[in-house]
Copies of this chain bind each other. A is one copy, B any other.
Amino acid sequence: MPSTTTHAATGPAPAPVGRRERKKAATRQAIADAALRLFLERGYDEVGIREIADAADVSTTTLFKHFPVKEALVFDEDSDQEARLLAAVRERPEGRSIPAALREHALTTRLATGAAEDGDFAAFANLVATTPALRDYAQNMWLRHAAALARVIAEESGLAADDPVCAALAHFALEAPRAASTHDNPRQAIVRAFDLLEHGWSGHAQADA
């Protein structure tokens, strides 16, 4: 997702307290911004690491201290997103089921990302879709998120960690928004999908608070 330095308060990143950490975050952001700009201008494969580092006015070593591999420059907010996703399940209000929490999360984040920067976002999506390296990387990210989510679901629901139901719910919860984006009315699609899921689910696991 393109990040324009100013992002709404949709998660656990509102408090970079120390002067140090703020500077660090700033550097990181400068790198990510420069990278994304160059990538969108000229294509992922046409822009080298050294050039990005130059554009952000840091050394390549510094760049790699912030982003472990080139692809990570594009999926900057990856870990933040994952953290928010897991938090949405872990810290859901009392009495709300896990699927309901997931639906809620899917809806809010979809609104947030799709809102202000629809043009940028389309360009970004296109970049990823047309660059094989990025497609692969995104796919693996997706799998990692699904796995992490499955573990959290297992913890929260009290099911066995390797219960297929957890994996299935996780997969579904991540797949639904993906599928919905090709729909004419994404929000409606998400709601429907999750409604269906919840009923199937409640038969399986009634043990969540």
Contact = CB atoms under 8 A, between A and B. Distances in A.
A44 to B, nearest CB: 18
Contacts of A140: 136, 139
Interface of A: 136, 139-140, 143
Contacts of A136: 136, 140
A83 to B, nearest CB: 22
A108 to B, nearest CB: 27
Contacts of A143: 139
A143 B143 CA distance: 12
Nearest to A143: B139
A139 B143 CA distance: 10
Contacts of A139: 140, 143
4 contacts: A136-B136, A136-B140, A139-B140, A139-B143
Nearest to A164: B179
Closest 4 A/B residue pairs (Cβ): A136-B140, A139-B143, A139-B140, A136-B136
